[in-house]
Structure formats: C-alpha cells, structure tokens
Amino acid sequence: MEALHPLRYAVAATLARSVVEAAAITFVLVGTERGVSGEQLGVLVACTAAPQVLTAPWLGARLDASRRPSATLATMAVVIGAGVALIGAGLGQAPILAVYAVAVVWSIAEPGIMGGLSGIASRSARPGGRLEAWDAVSYGGAAIVGQALVAIVTLVSTAAAVIVVLVVLAVLAALAITRLPLRPPVPATDAVQVDVSADRGPAVRAALRLMAADRELRSITVLTTISMSAFGGLALAAVGFARHTGRPAESASVLVLSLAIGALVGSLGVTRLASPPAPLRAATVAVAVVGVSFALSAIGPWWLAVAAFFVAGVADGPLLVSTFTMRTARTPDDLRASVYTTAASLKIAGTALGAVVVGLVADDDGGRAGMVVLAGGQALALVALAVTQLVGRRAAKMKE
C-alpha cells in the first residue's frame, strides 16, 4: 500500500473537522432563530460532547481493529453530516428529546474524526513525512474554516443555510477520506519500550495501561490534559472580557479567531523545521508561553488581548504537534487509535470542568477572572508535570 501523503491527508481532515468546528455554534444560532430556549440548547451541546468521555475509547478500539479504516472513518464523516442535517431540521420542529437522541449518536462518531483519524493516519504515513505537523495544521485550519463559514453564510443568508453547507462539506470529506491509503492494523514492534503484551484484552484497557506505564506518554498526557482543561472555558472568558472592555459579546469571536489563526501559523511553522525539537521539552515551553499570553490578556487592554491570543495560538500549534509526535513514537500500531481517542476523552472531561470553573468566576471583575483561570490552568499543568516526573523518577529508583 502506498504511503499516506501529509498534504493530501491534511485536506481531507480539514474538510471533516470543519464540520465539527462549526456545528455547535450553528445549532445554537438555528435554535435561537426558531425560539428554542437557551437551557435546551445548552443540553443539546452537552449531548454532543459529554457521552464522548465513554464512547471515545470504545470507538478507538473499534478503529484499531478495523480492516478497512478508510471506509470506517468515511462512515463517521457521513454520520456527522447526517447528524447535522437531522438536528438542524429538528430544532424547533420536532420533540426536543428526539433531537437530543440524535446528538448522542453524533457524539459517538465525532471522536473518530477528531482523534481516531489522527491515530490511524499516523501509522499510514512514511517515517519522517511530518504527518503530525500537517495534522496539527488541519485542526487549526478547520477551526478557522468552520468559524468563517458560519460568519459568512449567516451574513448573506440564514443560520439554516449553514446546515446545508455543512452537510455538503461532510459528504466531500467522506469522499476524500475513502481515497486515503489508511493501513489496517499490524502487530506491535519492538520499538515500543513498554511491555503491553501481558494485557492484550480490551484495547481500551491496554491503551490506558500503556499511557500510565510509559513515562514520556504519562508526562505529556498529564501536561496536555490539564492545559486543555482550561480551554473549556475559553468562550465564556472571551465573552466576559469583551463585555468588560465595553464591547458587544459578539466581539469575543475576534479573540477566538486570533487564537485559531495563531495555531495555524504555529503548526505551519513546525512543518518547515528541518529537525523538530524533543516533544516533551517543546510541549513544556509551549504551555508556558500559552500561560504567559493569557496572563497578559487579563491585565492588558483589548488590543493586547487580541495580540496575546494570537501568540497563545502560535504556541498551541507546536504543542499539538509535540503531543502527536510523542504518541506516534511510543504507541504500537494496533493501539494507536485507542491511545488517541482515550487521551481525547480525558481532555473532554477536563474541558467540561474548565467550563464550569470559568462559569463560576466569570462575573467577578468582568472577564478578567476568566482570563486568570485560563492562565492558571497552564501554571497548574506545569506543576503537575513536574510532580509526575518526580514521582516517576523515584519509582524507577525504587525498582532498581
């Protein structure tokens, strides 16, 4: 089978992930137009995300075992497109419980596109092909494309028209994924430094055991999970800060877009490096830069916040690349999707907690308190990393 071309993969992944990135805000806009209550819309968004804590690891195991991963992932893209269509048609028209049920099905498919696709692609590319960097580019590009589509289409038409655009995009993504040369699973190699052969039962259990036993995987999982948890409150913090500076709530999209553009720039920058830095070291520096940037946002005027969000995005791009590089290097092929999706489920749980924390403090000192939480989350991630490494070193010495 031919090796997966990074740029070709990035195009297909960006198409699929753009649908996911645009879906939540589209559902809220459509529901608002049709008189659906904010409480019901909040439950709807939760239904698209919360079940992933349980379903993501399960889906990863299924993807790892799939003999036709391209077809399986294309099906996930079709399910996401169908979910967009059904939710868009049902909001304000059908019983809300039926809409919630569709949203739960959506939540089963989404990790396949946002995490599983990365895991399967990483075992299909040629070594040194910089797939991880281009994968990060697809995430940043999808965030920009998704938000831009919503803004442009709603400007010239209605929110319901966005539904049609996203369905078409999902179909195109499915077609593009079917043409990707994604390899079926192969036995683990001796390159993996942690022995997981004693536990070849459920892939989810094996993935968790590997992530806990491998010092490098454990460290980067702790670092990125806590770092990304703070991002769960990003939208609330941005809206609060916009209002604090006397701007309408919609101005918060400027901050989010600035972050997304920065992430794309950072990811593209990594693709140009002749020799990428050590993943854990690069991730640690990136989290520190993100934390400082959010701290500057909390104390500065609006223009400084926009610039700081851009810098945070530039750092977040390499952080994603480093995470993918580490997982690829230290995970066997037949556990790759399980590790990716299990790690994603941990982050989903963390972001839900982050949203709750920011929501509790967002009213204090306008939006600055939310920005402080974003910065504090990065500081906590660095402390947790240091503790994890210290405990790991002591445990290793005791075994000696």
At 203-245, the pLDDT tens digits run: 667 777 888 888 888 899 899 989 988 887 777 777 778 878 8
DSSP bridge partners of 125: 4
Average pLDDT, the chain: 81
User: Which whole number is the average pLDDT over 102-121?
Assistant: 85
Residue 336 to residue 137: CA distance in whole angstroms = 20
Type of residue found at 70: S
| Structure-derived torsion over alpha carbons of residues 251, 255, 258, 262, reported in degrees to the nearest 10 | -170
At 26-44, the pLDDT tens digits run: 887 788 788 887 678 767 8
Residue 139 to residue 255: CA distance in whole angstroms = 17
Q: Which of 398, 1, 381, 9 is nearest to 222 (CA)?
A: 381
User: Which whole number is the average pLDDT over 82-110?
Assistant: 91
Let me know: does 368 contact 241? Beta carbons within 8 Å.
Answer: yes
Residue 206 to residue 216: CA distance in whole angstroms = 16
CB atoms within 10 A of CB 249: 11
Residue 360 to residue 320: CA distance in whole angstroms = 28
Residue, of 351 and 294, whose pLDDT is higher: 294
CA distances from 330 to 217, 273, 318 (A): 7, 22, 18
Residue 246 to residue 132: CA distance in whole angstroms = 40
C-alpha atoms less than 13 angstroms from C-alpha of 244 in its C-beta half-sphere = 24
Residue, of 256 and 190, whose pLDDT is higher: 256
User: Which whole number is the average pLDDT over 161-190?
Assistant: 84
Q: Which of 42, 300, 62, 27 is nearest to 160 (CA)?
A: 27
Confidence band for 195, pLDDT divided at 50, 70 and 90:
very low
Let me know: does 160 contact 88? Beta carbons within 8 Å.
Answer: yes
Residue 151 has pLDDT above 50, yes or no: yes
Q: Which of 293, 279, 277 is nearest to 231 (CA)?
A: 293
Let me know: does 334 contact 185? Beta carbons within 8 Å.
Answer: yes
Which two tokens mark 72? 């399986």
Place of tokens 């952080």: 319
pLDDT of residue 134: 82
> Which residue intervals of the chain are DSSP H helices?
6-33, 38-49, 52-65, 69-90, 96-111, 117-122, 131-156, 159-178, 203-213, 215-230, 234-244, 252-271, 279-299, 302-330, 336-361, 368-399
Residue 192 has pLDDT above 50, yes or no: no
pLDDT of residue 191: 41
pLDDT of residue 38: 64
Max CA pair span of the chain: 67
At 129-148, the pLDDT tens digits run: 577 778 878 887 887 788 77
CA distances from 250 to 236, 238, 254, 330, 372 (A): 12, 10, 8, 42, 21
Q: What angle, rounded to 10 degrees, do the helices at 336-361 and 215-230 form?
A: 30
Residue 322 has pLDDT above 70, yes or no: yes
| Structure-derived torsion over alpha carbons of residues 165, 167, 169, 175, reported in degrees to the nearest 10 | -150
Q: Look up residue 196 and give its DSSP letter.
A: -
For the chain, domains (ranges, CATH) are: 1-185 (1.20.1250.20), 193-400 (1.20.1250.20)
Helix (H, G, I), strand (E, B) or coil at 50: coil
Let me know: does 277 contact 328? Beta carbons within 8 Å.
Answer: no
pLDDT of residue 364: 52
Q: Look up residue 214 and give its DSSP letter.
A: -
Helix (H, G, I), strand (E, B) or coil at 4: strand
pLDDT of residue 97: 94
pLDDT of residue 289: 95
Q: Which residues of 64-86 are buried (b: 16+ CB within 10 A; e: fewer)?
A: bebeebbebbbbbbbbbbbbbbb
* Proportion of the chain above pLDDT 90, given as a percent: 24
User: Which whole number is the average pLDDT over 71-81?
Assistant: 93
CB atoms within 10 A of CB 351: 19
